[in-house]
Structure 1
């Protein structure tokens, strides 16, 4: 497979691009995925419009396939084509000794089969433990909890612009 020319930005969904809540937050949800009300992070459309011109886009969430499909349809639709939209079945399940539960790792080496070198991939995720195998590829973002005054995606755009300027 030929190596792709553009860099790839892979987005997590929950608390990165959207926030899902079983209770309404006092402002309209973007859509419902029962039993959840799903809220899009402010400036999401503006951010996607700006970066889609320069980057390939993808989604990788540790949520269910049905949920990922619903969110991808509402957030990206046909306007922002994705290279792929992966859900929990593509994650590596690892025991978390601190919580005695599981953490779902997103091992970016799995993306290499899509035609990208690791150096071309950036993962935007609010959970650093999920990208622990390739921390240099992690673009950290604060967790989104549904607040309408959130500006993290504008900050992300600025960071991506400075990365592009530095690489040029």
Structure 2
């Protein structure tokens, strides 16, 4: 009786050992190989090189929906498409605007329909509750300034979850009692851009990332403290799988508000207030902020009647790198 039992035990031991050898011989699978989400991806919301947002993890939250497509919003945002956007951002009447192509008229019509739908939105179903303002009244020292809303990731910086060569900042983030490192590359000229634009605009950073990541990063990016307000993911609206930055929640004159963002879907509610920029990843020769700064500096106090002429000329005859030279020539 004992011999069969020893034989069975030996067989089981051999089987387990064989399985372990086979397991050890298999190629090792990394987190990326297994297609598992990086825990940091839940706090940092990024866009790809084409300005398309990463997918939003839906966790039963209410969101806005509509039947019409928003595929056009995924088109790469760029400075050359801002003719109609800046007119509205700086309060120019329709009568003052030069004739716009039919495509722009179609976009304006779609935007108006969307705004009308939002105004009549009811709580429940797939419609998000219309919220109160997320900013306090404008401070007296900024009463005469326009509001400049800036995106963070891929507009001012690019963050990586793996070690990179010579990062500008390393941010420690606690996720479920585990400290993770985020390696941040600053867009060339970002700090100077903030300091210079603060002379002419009230600056608000509006990010779809979480504050536990954004706050320590902005403390490093803005040592002078020129950013007046910081808004985070909880201040965004989920719409068709994207985080949208709703400028109507800012408690600011919408005709005096400009948003700069690398993801067109971020400003889909207010496309005519937007300056779309390319997504910054790692180009050390990037000079886009410098060109945008020159443009913004020269329009911050331009009269409406003059602004339309400047915008029309610049947007239809020059590309982005040439804009800065045009203003200084």
Normalising by structure 1, report the TM-score.
0.85
CA drift of 1:2 comes to 6.8
Q: 1:12 and 2:151 equivalent?
A: yes
* Count of aligned pairs: 158
CA drift of 1:75 comes to 1.1
Q: Which residue of 2 aligns with 1:37?
A: 183
- Mapped partners of 2:138, 2:183: distance in 1: 41
Contact 1:59 1:82 (C-alpha < 8 Å) held by counterparts: yes
CA drift of 1:10 comes to 1.0
CA gap of 1:2–1:105, structure 2 versus 1, over 3 A, is: closer
Question: Which structure 2 segments of 5+ residues have no match?
Answer: 1-136, 173-179, 307-329
Q: Which residue of 2 aligns with 1:22?
A: 161
Determine which structure has the larger helix proportion and give its number.
2
CA gap of 1:54–1:46, structure 2 versus 1, over 3 A, is: same
What aligned pairs does 1:56-135 form with structure 2 within 5 A after superposition?
A: 56-77=202-223, 79-95=224-240, 102-112=241-251, 116-135=252-271
Of 285, 290, 304 in structure 2, the residue corresponding to residue 154 of structure 1 is 290
* 3-state secondary structure, aligned to 1:39: strand
CA gap of 1:165–1:57, structure 2 versus 1, over 3 A, is: closer
Q: Which residue of 1 aligns with 2:194?
A: 48
Question: Which structure 1 segments of 5+ residues have no match?
Answer: 96-101
Contact 2:170 2:181 (C-alpha < 8 Å) held by counterparts: no
CA gap of 1:2–1:106, structure 2 versus 1, over 3 A, is: closer
CA drift of 1:52 comes to 1.1
Determine which structure has the larger strand proportion and give its number.
1
- Mapped partners of 1:76, 1:9: distance in 2: 15
- Once the two structures are superposed, residues 63-104 of structure 1 have per-residue CA deviations (whole angstroms, 9 ceiling, x without a partner) of 012112122211113x13333101000000112xxxxxx200
Contact 1:68 1:86 (C-alpha < 8 Å) held by counterparts: no
Q: Which has the larger radius of gyration?
A: 2
CA drift of 1:166 comes to 4.3
- Mapped partners of 1:85, 1:91: distance in 2: 12
